[in-house]
Amino acid sequence: MTSTSYSSTRSDSSISGTQPTVADRLEDGYGSAEEATRSSDTLLINEQSRLLEAGGRRIFKFGFGQSPFPVFAPAVQALAAHAAEKAYLPVQGLPALRDQVARFHSDTDHTSWEAERVVVGPGSKLLLFALMKSLPEADILIPAPSWVSYAPQARMAGQRAVRLEATFETRWQVTPEQLDAYCVENPERLKLLILNAPGNPTGLSPDTDTQKRLANVARRHGVLVLADEIYGLLHHRGQHRGFALDYPEGTVTTSGLSKWCGAGGWRLGVMHVPSELGTELFARIQGLASETWSSVASPVQHAAIAAYTRTSELDAYVERQRVVLSEIGQWCAARLNDANVRTHAPDGGFYLFPDLEAHREALAARGITTSSELTARLLEDAGVALLPGSAFGCDPSQLTVRLAYVDFDGAALMKSEQATLEQATTTTLIQGIDAIVKWLN
């Protein structure tokens, strides 16, 4: 029998002759800190902000991307009416809900959703993982910047995560040329390209021409596309273009209630897998679901039918969110650009991705050379909670941050018809942006 040799850090057990503990074996079994799977940065900043506030600090909460708006009222009423529902529902989801989801997205996105190819999950986050885990060996192509959980999920699923670096000049979008070059250089493996539009952390979407060219490249190389369109309904001009419109046979689309319906804590996501992808992948996703989450909570699924039923009330609810988010996002971007912080005005959602490169020399004089140092000092000095660009896959030396402009009273603004920035409910948000500018100067 061979024995495990432990390093000098465990010399206490070696000297005493004792066997390594479970904790020793766990520590030895995990890889480097970089390889280990850790808590999501977005969730960590939310908890850190709460702790600082509990200690008496005033914190401008731009770190956590949670909808500031109330849940759509008819859905809340439906949830209450179905609170006594206790049966396990079908793994794939309640048939009436899948029918409604298919109609809803076919109508709003002008793409073809088939009810029998819809899967309902406990948030779109787990559906994303289920897709990656259900694939054979694949390269998961992830734009940098992109949402913090894509790369960790790819590694947890046993897949290879590959970063495709975007730039300010390309509006933080992966270009068709980048995708084509990677596919030409790496022809042997299946590839899954993740596209999130409007995007987290950027708030941006590709223009129509770029999206069509990306679709053509994906089709030519047989690339599977995962279109994470959780913010699609919150495109500020109501002009979201589903990727499946340009590449229907190769696009798996996910969405859910967390952003446009304000129901993040309800944990209900939906996925559409086109029939052109065959039966095996779909069967594997359902098999994974059956062995993990079993089914989404019954009351939530019944309530979601109301959320996915299109009415004039629902349209007005979504449109008011778009108006509010657009006005606030445009103002924030303009204020930061005036302070020499390069920031693209958002297309949708509630994020900005400012680039502070113009302030590099002044920040270096203050001992700040990385995005994580930048956000740590902003939180400490100015009470502004942001996330570093490095959390989203960017080079740590790149002075980028994600700003979630959600620190306002969404419920009050939903009831008002006044211009958003005239409302007292936006005072905290305005003061937070001003605090960033003041700190820089």
Strands 251-256 and 224-228: parallel
Tell whether domain 41-65+313-440 is in CATH 3.30.2000.10: no
Nearest to 157 by CA among 248, 223, 226, 65: 226
Class of domain 73-310: alpha beta
Higher pLDDT, 15 or 145: 145
Full-model pTM: 0.89
CATH 3.90.1150.10 segments of the chain: 41-65+313-440
Q: For the chain, how big is the Rg over CA atoms in Å?
A: 23
341 HSE (CA, 13 A, CB side): 26
pLDDT at position 15 is 42
Q: Which of 48-57, 125-134, 201-210, 255-264 has the lowest mean pLDDT?
A: 48-57
Helices 73-81 + 298-307 axis angle, to 10: 150
pLDDT tens digit string along 40-97? 566 666 677 777 778 788 899 999 889 999 999 999 999 999 999 999 999 999 999 9
How large is the average pLDDT for residues 236-259?
98
Q: Where in the chain is the domain with CATH 3.40.640.10?
A: 73-310
Which tens digit of pLDDT belongs to each residue from 285-318?
999 999 999 999 999 999 999 999 999 999 999 9
Q: What is the DSSP letter of 9?
A: G
DSSP string, 214-245: HHHHHHHHT-EEEEE-TTGGGBTTS----GGG
* pLDDT tens readout for residues 168-197: 999 999 999 999 999 999 999 999 999 999
Query: Which one has a higher pLDDT value, 13 or 214?
Result: 214
**Distance between CA 368 and CA 383 in Å, rounded?**
17
Per residue in 324-378, pLDDT (tens digit) is 999 999 999 999 999 999 999 999 999 999 999 999 999 999 999 999 999 999 9
Q: Which pLDDT does position 51 carry in this prediction?
A: 79
> Quick check: bond before 70 cis, omega within 30?
no
Q: Does residue 388 contact residue 201 with C-beta atoms inside 8 Å?
A: no
Buried b (16+ CB within 10 A) or exposed e, 337-368: eebebebbbbbbbbbbbbbbeebeeebeeeeb
> 412-415 long-range CB contacts below 8 Å, 24 or more apart?
413/69, 413/320, 413/324, 414/69, 414/70, 414/317, 414/320, 414/321, 414/324
Pairing, β 387-388 against β 384-385: unpaired
Q: pLDDT at residue 6 above 50?
A: no
pLDDT at residue 37 greater than cutoff 70: no
Instruction: Report whether 421 contacts 408 (CB < 8 A).
Output: no
pLDDT band at residue 26 using 50, 70 and 90 as cut-offs? low
pLDDT for the residue numbered 84: 97
Please, what is the Cα angle at 323 between 71 and 105, to 5 degrees? 60
Top pLDDT among 116 and 28 is at 116
Percentage, residues of the chain above pLDDT 70: 90
Question: pLDDT grade, residue 13 (50/70/90)?
Answer: very low
Strand partners, 226: 194, 252
More confident residue, 421 or 302: 302
Confidence check: pLDDT of 3 > 50? no
